[in-house]
């Protein structure tokens, strides 16, 4: 029997551990500066802001010295292209002190596997040029069943554009290249002016490698032109704990962009892993993973050139992950599956996937014990096998998503009748998994051609799947393929209902004519237009008078929100001119217990303005549960035998302080709206103890102030003095 850590609990663990564990530069005691554009930079410098080092390699050496002494360190790398590779290797002297590597500003630092080559020799009067080639890489395997071109590692870029690689001189065409290792020669054929063009030749592998480390952050870098062999990636993180990868790009690498392996507590945020030869990102054997606002698109150009689209290539391929949240992930036009969740994954949430136009599938869910949730996602226009395809995976939920126009099938299952063995890498427990225990609720599942099955169970009998299916509140539609439901034969919608005993509140209707939520409209629009100009629009942190509006754009753009109590809106925020892809605008001055309509507006650098659909949120009734701050500096001054004067510093409150309550000897004495009070009618020579609290109109009362004590003066008896006695008069001499 499959056993799980309770799902919500593990998700909470992910959030808490990652927030607590990741080091930050604010904790750093040491700062090291790198600036290869500074004329005075030198690796003999101390690495200060005014005397930076020149290379990343030297900066890493200095950082290692601090780390060995358990001193937190931040390496600030200033703008430039750094043509080198660095590593934080396993070390018996490494300590858990945080190490931060940060580009300044983010996106301005390129770590490149290529060098600029000049001195190309023209072959006669042709547009073919040659250079000496001193490497002998061959064509090692990257997997099973691929052509030799897939195993090649070489890359040449002319003015930033990748040339096509061929494997013989006879195949050379314009904008292509060929490496002849037998003659130690590289040939390029280009119509560019070779004497002025920037020609970059990729020669380095493993641009940033981290092995057996803790508390490492990498922020704001671009990693490109890596030539790693086999199944490797440009940035590799192995056997690591508490890792943060943020605002980084992994572009045009020969095989993989980013790989994390054998990890615990990792966050990957706001990264782009596009145009890589095999896959964008890979994660293997890890616990507690948070991935949010990432993109893995246009990958597997190298594999596709040799007909290789399976096994280890995808926009993102993740396996053996125990506990992960993937939020707002985009995979578009990969020459492979958009996302491949492959083998022994459990406690996984996908929230806000956009998987469009990928080859073979939008997302593949293979051999997983679950639980797995896919929600608020658009899975559309993917080819060959379908939108969401699965084999031998259990305990999967698909909620509130749009799955549409995927060739072969919108949802496709294999494994209803035949199990597959899976071993839990953490516990060693073995499972025999089927396709069963799926929940499909609140989705739009639509096709438009005879190639678009809506629900398809491939193997038969399908009883194990049917009898464990929970499905309801879905909108189905395919006006061409009426019998678009396959499980123990093909059925129409009513037949599917009867066969499964489910879908009592589902309908078969055109979703464009149905009543949809704002989120459904947004996702359907993304699917129909293939336009991700604006998506993932969310209202959060809604209070009685404020709300936080966030969204994502496909290209950098500015930010603005139009809002109001109706769809006429009426209010418009000022433009935030920063060109970003992840947007946030905070609305203030709202009214309690009011439904607001809003739409977001972003204008990109080309001048194109993008406007979202209408969305709503409702502010709650105002409830003040916040107490005022504690009164400060309470003092007591003795005035007489019967009076003590008190004074204190004012408190503050989220709404307003109504007054103060004075306590004498532990009991409430009185209240006042002032920050002073005279306590009269006291007993002489008596000690009194005082504290003060502040309260607001909602009745919230602060913690008591610090206690002060004072003793009244000694009093008189109340009787006049006695008259003088024995008065004598002495005569004058």
Spell out the domain ranges in the chain: 14-113+204-300, 116-202, 352-530, 533-618, 632-711
Ramachandran quadrant class, 462 (left: phi over 0; alpha: psi -120 to 50; beta: rest): alpha
Model pLDDT, residue 34: 98
Per-residue model confidence as pLDDT tens digits over 529-550: 776 778 888 898 898 899 999 9
**Stretch 420-435: mean pLDDT, rounded?**
97
**d(Cα 474, Cα 516) in Å, to the nearest integer?**
11
Q: What is the largest CA-CA distance in the chain?
A: 153
Write out the E strands in 589-649: 595-603, 609-611, 615-618, 632-638, 644-649
Query: For the chain, how many residues are written?
Result: 733
**d(Cα 373, Cα 347) in Å, to the nearest integer?**
8
- Lowest mean per-residue pLDDT among 11-15, 350-354, 483-487, 591-595: 11-15
Model pLDDT, residue 612: 87
Enumerate residues 6+ apart whose C-beta is below 8 A from 718: none
Bridge-based pairing state of the strands 249-251 and 272-274: parallel
Confidence of residue 2 (pLDDT cuts 50, 70, 90): very low
- pTM attached to this predicted model: 0.78
Give bridge partners of residue 61 from the DSSP assignment.
Answer: none
More confident residue, 556 or 242: 242
Give bridge partners of residue 691 from the DSSP assignment.
Answer: 663
Model pLDDT, residue 720: 55
Model pLDDT, residue 723: 61
Q: Answer whether residue 265 shows pLDDT above 70.
A: yes
Domain 533-618 has CATH 1.10.10.60: no
**d(Cα 97, Cα 240) in Å, to the nearest integer?**
13
Confidence of residue 23 (pLDDT cuts 50, 70, 90): very low
Model pLDDT, residue 581: 85
Q: Answer whether residue 60 shows pLDDT above 70.
A: yes
CATH of domain 632-711: 2.60.40.10
Confidence of residue 1 (pLDDT cuts 50, 70, 90): very low
Per-residue model confidence as pLDDT tens digits over 695-713: 998 889 999 999 999 999 9
Model pLDDT, residue 582: 86
Q: Please give the full DSSP string across 78-99, using - where no structure is assigned.
A: EEEEE---EEE---TT--SS-E
72: exposed, middle or buried (Cβ count in 10 Å: 0-12, 13-18, 19+)? buried
Same fold: 533-618 with 632-711? yes
Q: Answer whether residue 634 shows pLDDT above 70.
A: yes
Q: What is the rounded (10 degree) CA torsion for 671, 677, 678, 681?
A: 20
Write out the E strands in 500-631: 507-508, 534-540, 546-564, 571-572, 576-588, 595-603, 609-611, 615-618
Tell which residue, 337, 352, 389, 336, has the closest CA to residue 367: 389
Per-residue model confidence as pLDDT tens digits over 643-682: 999 999 999 998 899 999 999 999 999 999 999 999 999 9
Model pLDDT, residue 22: 47
CA torsion through residues 69, 73, 78, 84, sign: positive
Helix (H, G, I), strand (E, B) or coil at 714: coil
Q: What is the mean pLDDT of the chain?
A: 92
Helix (H, G, I), strand (E, B) or coil at 500: helix
Confidence of residue 426 (pLDDT cuts 50, 70, 90): very high
Q: Give percent of the chain above pLDDT 70.
A: 94
**d(Cα 617, Cα 539) in Å, to the nearest integer?**
7
In the block, tokens 């799955």 appear at 403
495: exposed, middle or buried (Cβ count in 10 Å: 0-12, 13-18, 19+)? middle
Contact, 419 vs 396, CB < 8 A?
A: no
Class of domain 14-113+204-300: mainly beta
Model pLDDT, residue 18: 46
Per-residue model confidence as pLDDT tens digits over 198-228: 999 999 999 999 999 999 999 999 999 999 9
- Lowest mean per-residue pLDDT among 33-47, 64-78, 230-244, 719-733: 719-733
**d(Cα 97, Cα 100) in Å, to the nearest integer?**
10
Contact, 142 vs 312, CB < 8 A?
A: yes
Strand arrangement of the beta sheet that strand 632-638 belongs to = 632-638, 644-649, 676-679
Tell which residue, 510, 501, 512, has the closest CA to residue 466: 501
């Amino acid at each position: 029997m499959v056993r799980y850590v309770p799902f919500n609990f593990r998700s909470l663990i992910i959030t808490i551990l990652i927030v607590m564990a990741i080091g930050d530069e604010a904790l750093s005691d040491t700062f090291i500066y790198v600036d290869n554009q500074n004329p005075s930079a030198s690796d003999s410098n101390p690495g200060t802001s005014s005397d930076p080092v020149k290379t990343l390699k030297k900066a890493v050496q200095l950082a290692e010295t601090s780390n060995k002494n358990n001193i937190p360190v931040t390496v600030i790398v200033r703008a430039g292209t750094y043509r080198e590779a660095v590593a934080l290797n396993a070390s018996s002297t490494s300590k858990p002190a945080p190490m931060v590597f940060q580009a300044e500003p983010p996106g301005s630092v390129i770590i490149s596997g290529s060098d600029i080559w000049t001195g190309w020799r023209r072959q006669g009067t042709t547009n073919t040029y040659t250079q000496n080639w001193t490497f002998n890489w061959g064509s090692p395997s990257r997997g099973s069943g691929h052509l030799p071109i897939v195993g090649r590692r070489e890359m040449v870029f002319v003015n930033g554009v990748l040339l096509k690689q061929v494997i013989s001189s006879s195949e050379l065409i314009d904008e292509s290249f060929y490496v002849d290792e037998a003659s130690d020669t590289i040939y390029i054929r280009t119509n560019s002016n070779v004497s002025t063009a920037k020609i970059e030749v990729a020669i380095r592998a493993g641009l940033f490698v981290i092995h057996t480390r803790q508390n490492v952050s990498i922020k704001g870098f671009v990693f490109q032109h890596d030539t790693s062999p086999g199944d490797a990636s440009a940035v590799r993180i192995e056997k690591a704990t508490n890792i943060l990868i943020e605002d980084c790009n992994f572009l045009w690498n020969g095989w993989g962009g980013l790989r994390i392996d054998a990890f615990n507590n990792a966050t990957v945020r706001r990264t782009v892993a596009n145009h890589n030869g095999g896959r964008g990102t890979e994660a293997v054997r890890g616990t507690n993973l948070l991935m949010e606002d990432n993109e893995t698109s246009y990958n597997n150009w190298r594999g596709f050139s040799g007909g290789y689209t399976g096994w280890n290539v995808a926009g993102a391929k993740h396996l053996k992950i125990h506990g992960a949240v993937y939020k707002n992930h985009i995979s578009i036009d990969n020459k492979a599956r958009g996302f491949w969740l492959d083998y022994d994954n459990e406690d996984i949430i996908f929230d806000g996937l956009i998987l469009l136009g990928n080859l073979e599938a939008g997302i593949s869910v293979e051999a997983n014990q679950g639980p797995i949730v896919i929600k608020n996602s658009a899975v559309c226009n993917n080819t060959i096998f379908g939108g969401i395809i699965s084999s031998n995976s259990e305990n999967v939920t698909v909620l509130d998503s749009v799955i549409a126009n995927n060739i072969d099938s919108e949802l496709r299952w294999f494994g209803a009748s035949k199990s597959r063995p899976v071993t839990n890498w953490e516990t060693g427990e073995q499972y025999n998994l089927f396709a069963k225990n799926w929940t499909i609720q609140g989705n739009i599942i639509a096709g438009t051609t005879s190639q678009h099955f809506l629900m398809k169970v491939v193997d038969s009998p399908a009883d194990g799947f049917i009898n464990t299916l929970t499905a309801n509140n879905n909108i189905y539609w395919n006006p061409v393929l009426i019998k678009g439901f396959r499980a123990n034969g093909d059925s129409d919608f009513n037949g599917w209902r009867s066969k499964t005993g489910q879908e009592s509140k589902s309908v078969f209707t055109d979703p464009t004519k149905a009543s949809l939520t704002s989120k459904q409209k947004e996702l359907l629009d993304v699917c129909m237009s293939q336009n991700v100009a604006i998506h993932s629009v969310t209202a959060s942190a809604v209070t009685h008078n404020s709300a936080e509006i966030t969204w994502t754009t496909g290209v950098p753009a500015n930010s603005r929100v139009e809002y109001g109590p109706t769809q006429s809106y009426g209010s418009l925020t000022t433009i935030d001119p920063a060109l970003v892809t992840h947007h946030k605008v905070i609305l203030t001055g709202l009214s309690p217990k009011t439904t607001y309509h809003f739409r977001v507006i972003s204008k990109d650098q080309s001048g194109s303005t993008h406007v979202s659909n209408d969305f709503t949120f409702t502010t709650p009734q105002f409830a003040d549960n916040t107490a005022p701050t504690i009164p400060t500096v309470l003092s007591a001054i003795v005035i007489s035998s019967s009076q003590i004067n008190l004074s204190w510093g004012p408190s503050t409150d989220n709404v307003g302080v109504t007054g103060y309550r004075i306590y004498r000897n532990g009991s409430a004495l009185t209240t006042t709206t002032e920050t002073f009070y005279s306590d009269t009618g006291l007993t002489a020579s008596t000690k009194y103890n005082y504290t003060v609290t502040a309260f607001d109109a909602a009745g919230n009362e602060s913690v008591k102030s610090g206690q002060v004590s004072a003793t009244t003066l000694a009093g008189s008896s109340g009787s006049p003095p006695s008259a003088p006695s024995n008065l004598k008069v002495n005569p004058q001499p």
